[in-house]
Amino acid sequence: MAYTALEQMRTVNRARFGVDAGPFPPALLGEDRSGNDLKSAALRFLHQRCEGLRFSAERAKQEAEGPYQGTSFLPNQIPYNMQMDLDRLCLERELEAFIDSGVAEDAYTVYYCYLEMFMGTYGRSNKMIELLSEFESNASALLMKHRDHYSHSVYVFALGLAIYETSDRFREAFQRFYGFRPGEQEHEAAAFFLEYWGLTALFHDIGYPFEIPFEQVLAYFEVDGMARDQGCPYLAYHNLTYLSRLDEGAADHFARLFGKRFSSVEDLLAFGIHKRLGAAYGVTEAYLKRVIRKKPTDPDKNGYFMDHAYFSATRLYQELAEERGAAALTAAHLDALTAILLHNSLFKFAVAFYKDEQKRKPPLKAEQHPLAYLLMLCDELQCWDRTAYGRNSRGELHPMGAEFDFDRGMIHALYCFDAEESEKIGAYEVAYRAWEQGGRAGKPPRLKAYSDMAEKEQRFCTDIEKIVDLSEYPLSVTTFLRAADRKAKHTYLSGSSFLHMYDFAVALNGRYRYAGREDQASAEELTQAFDRMSLEYKLSNINQAKSFARYLNAIGCFYTDRPVDYEMLRAFSQEQIDVFAPMEHARWVREHRARGWTGGDLYETAPLTPDTAEARLALREQLRQHKLCLNGDFGELEIARHYLSLSEEDQGKDWKPFNSMLRLIRKFDGLRIYMIN
C-alpha cells in the first residue's frame, strides 16, 4: 500500500457514499515492477520505499477536528497527507517520462517537482538551474570539449535512486552513516536519502556557467593548436564575496552545530571534507582550505582548469541560506555541499591523486562519505545520451544510449553506440590491432569514449575503480551498436528558454481565471494565481505548455524569442484548431489516467450538505474522478472517438486556452508565435 493517504481517502469515500468510487492508488509502472533495470528500480524506489514522504501527523490530527489543509485545484480541498502523496506521484511520473525520453523539457519538470517539494517554490530558485541550460545551449558551441550537464544531472539522480533501491550494501552503509536502523526505518531513511541525494545530484553542475567563459577564452587559442599551459591567456575569478560570505547569524549557527567558528563558506567546506576524509586520506583542514581557495583564483595551480564544482557548492550554499535560512541547515546539507565540491577534481587530484602511481590513495568507500561516493560513481556512469556542444566533442564517439541491470549487488552497464559510426569504429580497431602487433609502443589509439569501454585495458572501468571502491559492488561494461532513431526526441522548430515554458504555463492557467478579460490581468497576478495551485495542477499546465511545440509543428507554426521574418500568429483558425484540439485531448486523458484519475460523475450526483459549487468541486478532488476521463484499457482510436462524442463546450476546453494564451503570453517579454507559410 504505497500511497497510504490516497487509500485512507478511498476508505472515507466508501463509507460516505456506499460505493468504491476512489481515489484508487496508482499502480507502479515501468518495464518490470520487480525488475532491476534503471527505470524499474528508480520508480520502485519512489513508489514503494518512499511511502509516507513528507507526511505530517500534526496536520492529520488537526484535520480530524477541522477542515482539510491540503491543496488540490484550490486550497483546503483534500487532506494534507493526500496532497503529499500526490506530489510524490507527480515526481514518479515526471521521472518516468524523463527516463523514457531523455529530453531537456522532461528534465525540467523533474527539477520543477524537486524544487516545489523540497525547496519551497520553483519560482524563487528557477534561475539557478535554468542558467545552466541556457549557458550550455547558447555558449558551449565555442568550446573545444563540452557536453550537456542539464539532462545529465537528472540521469545521475535516477541512477542514484536505482542504486539505493537495489544495493543492500550501499543502502545499509547510508542508513548507518546517518543513524537509521537498517530494516526498521526504511521509509524514513528513503525520504532522507531522496531529499539529500536530490540536492547533491540535481545541483552538482550548476556552477558550469562559471567554467564555460574560462574555457571559451582558452578555446580561442586552442583552435590554432596552442596548449593552455604554454602562454595562453586565461581567466581567474576575484571579488567572490557573494559566494564565500558567511554572515554572523550563519557563523553563530555553525559554531553551535560543529563547535567551531568559520569565517567563510570555503572554511566551512574545508571543515566538512576534513571531518569525513581527513583521517583516512591524511589531509589537513589547512591544506584543504588552501586548495579550495585557489580553485577560482589560481587556475594555473590546477592544471589551467577551472573547477565548476567550487561554484556549484558555493552557489548552492547561498541559495539554501537565502531560501531556508542558514539556521535550518544541517550536517547533512554540508555533506551534500562537500560531495558536490569533491566530485569533479578535488578528490581525484588533491585528495586521492588517482592518476599518480607514487601518491595514489585508496578509492573512496561508501561508508566514508555516502553522498560523495554515489555522486562520483553515478557521474562517471552517466556518459550516454548527452548533447555534444564542443567542437572536439562533436567529433568523438560517445554512447547514445545505455541499459543497466543492478541484479545481485552488481552493476551491469550496456552502452549503445550509433551503428552509423561503424566505419569510424572499424578504423579505430584496425589501428588498435596494429598498435598491439607493434609491441604496444607509445600510447594506444583512442576513440573517446568508445575505446575507453571497448579496449582490452577497459580504461572506463579501471578509472572508476581508482576513484570509488567497487570491491563490494562490481561493475561490468559492455558495448554494442544500434541504429539511431533520429525522431525519438521529437525535436521541433520551436525553441526558447525554460523561463518561457514557465510563462506559457502561467498564461494557460490564467485563461481559466481571466477568459475574456486577458487585458485586465498583470503578469504578477497571473503568476500569483499559478503559485496558489498544487504541484499536480501546476505540472498539468506545464505539460500542456511542453506539448505546444508539437501542436504548432502539426499546423506549420513555431514559437521563438528571437526576431524572425515570418508572419506572426494572432489567433488560431478553425482548420488549425481541428488539428491540435484532439491532440491536446489525448494528452489530457493520458495524463489523468497516469495520475490515478477515473471517469465518473458521482461528484455531481451524490447528495451533499451543504450542496454548493465549492463543495462539489472539492468532492471531485477527493474522489479524483472526472466525467471527461476514460476508464479501462484504451488506445488512440478510443480517445479519438471520445473526443468526437464530447459536447461543443467540452471540446472547446482543448483549444480555447491556447487562443487566450496568445493574448496572455504577450505580457511576458519576447516570445511570439509565427507561421511558416
Computed from CA positions of residues 409, 190, 538, 667, in that sequence, does the dihedral angle turn out positive or negative? negative
The answer to whether residue 262 is domain-embedded is yes
Domain limit, last residue, from 371, 395, 419: 395
- Grid cell, residue 32, equals 518490470
Say yes or no: 451 and 333 in one domain.
Answer: no
Of 195, 108, 85, 187, residue with least CA distance to 595: 85
Say yes or no: 447 and 335 in one domain.
Answer: no
The answer to whether residue 37 is domain-embedded is no
Domain limit, last residue, from 367, 395, 423: 395
The answer to whether residue 202 is domain-embedded is yes
Residue 218: the pLDDT is 81
Say yes or no: 358 and 412 in one domain.
Answer: no
| DSSP per position, 424-440 | HHHHHHHHHHHHHHTTS
Residue 287: the pLDDT is 98
Residue 527: the pLDDT is 82
Say yes or no: 382 and 427 in one domain.
Answer: no
Backbone torsions φ then ψ of 79, nearest 5 degrees: -60, 150
Residue with cell 542508513: 175
- Grid cell, residue 478, equals 559492455
**Residue 376 · residue 160 · CB < 8 Å:** no
Say yes or no: 277 and 191 in one domain.
Answer: yes
pLDDT tens track for 87-137 = 999 999 999 999 998 888 899 899 999 999 998 766 555 655 555 555 555
Say yes or no: 245 and 351 in one domain.
Answer: yes
501, with CB counted inside 10 A (0-12, 13-18, 19+), is buried
Say yes or no: 164 and 306 in one domain.
Answer: yes
Residue 135: the pLDDT is 56
Of 455, 477, 462, 481, residue with least CA distance to 400: 481
- 593 by DSSP, 3-state: which? helix
Residue 388: the pLDDT is 55
The answer to whether residue 167 is domain-embedded is yes
Say yes or no: 406 and 358 in one domain.
Answer: no
pLDDT tens track for 327-367 = 999 999 999 999 999 999 999 999 999 998 899 999 999 99
Say yes or no: 304 and 197 in one domain.
Answer: yes
The answer to whether residue 81 is domain-embedded is no
Cα end-to-end span (Å), the chain:
54
Residue 412 and residue 37: Cα distance in Å, rounded? 9
Residue 392: the pLDDT is 45
Residue 429 and residue 546: Cα distance in Å, rounded? 43
Residue 89: the pLDDT is 97
Contacts of 263 (CB under 8 A, 6+ apart): 246, 251
Of 338, 349, 152, 312, residue with least CA distance to 258: 338
A 10 A CB-CB count for 101 gives: 16
A 10 A CB-CB count for 76 gives: 15
Number of structural domains the chain divides into? 2
The answer to whether residue 573 is domain-embedded is no
Domain limit, last residue, from 395, 420, 455: 395
Say yes or no: 414 and 286 in one domain.
Answer: no
The answer to whether residue 181 is domain-embedded is yes
Contacts of 21 (CB under 8 A, 6+ apart): 13, 14, 600, 602, 623, 625
Residue 667: the pLDDT is 62
Q: Which residues of the chain have pLDDT under 70?
A: 1, 29-33, 121-148, 223-225, 386-396, 486-491, 493, 495-500, 511-519, 661, 663-670
Residue 118 and residue 361: Cα distance in Å, rounded? 36
- Grid cell, residue 6, equals 490516497
Beta strands 401-405; 411-418: pairing state? antiparallel
Residue 312: the pLDDT is 94
**Which range of residues forms the domain containing residue 306?**
108-395
Angle between helices 4-17 and 613-623 (to 10 degrees): 130
Say yes or no: 327 and 428 in one domain.
Answer: no
How big is the chain, counted in residues?
A: 677
Say yes or no: 341 and 212 in one domain.
Answer: yes
The answer to whether residue 274 is domain-embedded is yes
